[in-house]
Amino acid sequence: MWSAESRHLCVALLEDRLVCSLGGAAARETGIDAPAKDEPAWRPAVAALVQQLAQQPGQVGRVSVVLGAAFVRWQLVDWPAQAGSDTELQAFLRLRFRGVYGAASAAWRLAHAVVSPGQALPACAVDEALPAALAQAAKGANARLVSVRPYVSSALDHWRGQWRGQAAWVAVVEPGHLTLALLDARGHWLGLGSVRCAEGTAWREALAGLQSRLALQSPTPVPREAPLFVAGPGADASGAPGGRALVPTGAVAPQGLARLFLGI
């Protein structure tokens, strides 16, 4: 008989690959074809997940999915003083996303971090059809989708205690993407941005430009001594002056792509 934990499938959905682990087993990586013309970018990844589930009939009970940066759009918005309810806040965020991304954003699901009123608010959007497709994929294998979360937010939450009490840059490095956050000593958000970059060490070259842009946009001066923390699979802070790599420790600590589906 399968235990509940052994039947838990953890999945990282990336633009060009699927990374899965069933019941804590070693990560399995599956390449993904590019989407067809006019096809949603996430469709091939979900199709690959359906195939993975079909190869393990009756073995999966729960499915948790972490989304790569390619499927998530981020914005850092000023707190809307006129928003007196969550409904009004959602309406405000939808206007902001429409202003940047146009009419396509009407088909997106929005979510935001929990912050105190008056603070800058990180918000993200994913195609509304993506969570529904993931739920249907799980249901088709007699499993249940229990969570869908961006890798960036998972990694930031996991490592938050490392920079608490000081202004800091936090870089989250994924295959093909760099996301950079700037926070003050109280943990308030000052900047947030994301760029595409080649795999390997190319994120280091993209880092300087993104830091400069966010520093210029910051509502308060960025301390020169603000440290840089680097999270994400394969992140190597040695090429970033003053950088500190946030790497799980311990004999069985997950490394590389295995960090993706665990959100660390």
Q: What is the pLDDT of residues 200-233, one digit of tens each?
A: 888 988 999 999 999 999 999 999 889 999 999 8
Would you state the CATH architecture of domain 153-262? 2-Layer Sandwich (3.30)
Domains 8-70+127-151 and 153-262 share a fold: yes
For the residues of 203-257, what is the DSSP string, one character each?
Answer: HHHHHHHHHHHHHHH-SSPPPTT--EEEESTT--GGGSTTEEE----STT---TT
Q: Inform me whether the pLDDT recorded for 40 exceeds 80.
A: yes
- Residue 178 to residue 171: CA distance in whole angstroms: 7
User: What residue spans define the domains of the chain?
Assistant: 8-70+127-151, 72-125, 153-262
Residue 252 reports pLDDT greater than 70: no
**pTM, full prediction:** 0.89
Q: What is the pLDDT of residues 57-107, one digit of tens each?
A: 889 999 999 999 999 999 999 988 887 788 999 999 999 999 999 999 999
Residue written as token pair 């930031």:
156
> Mean pLDDT across the stretch 21-40?
88
- Out of 3.40.50.720, 1.10.3720.10, 3.40.50.620, 3.30.420.40, which CATH number does the structure's domain 8-70+127-151 have? 3.30.420.40
- Strands 108-112 and 168-174, how do they pair? unpaired
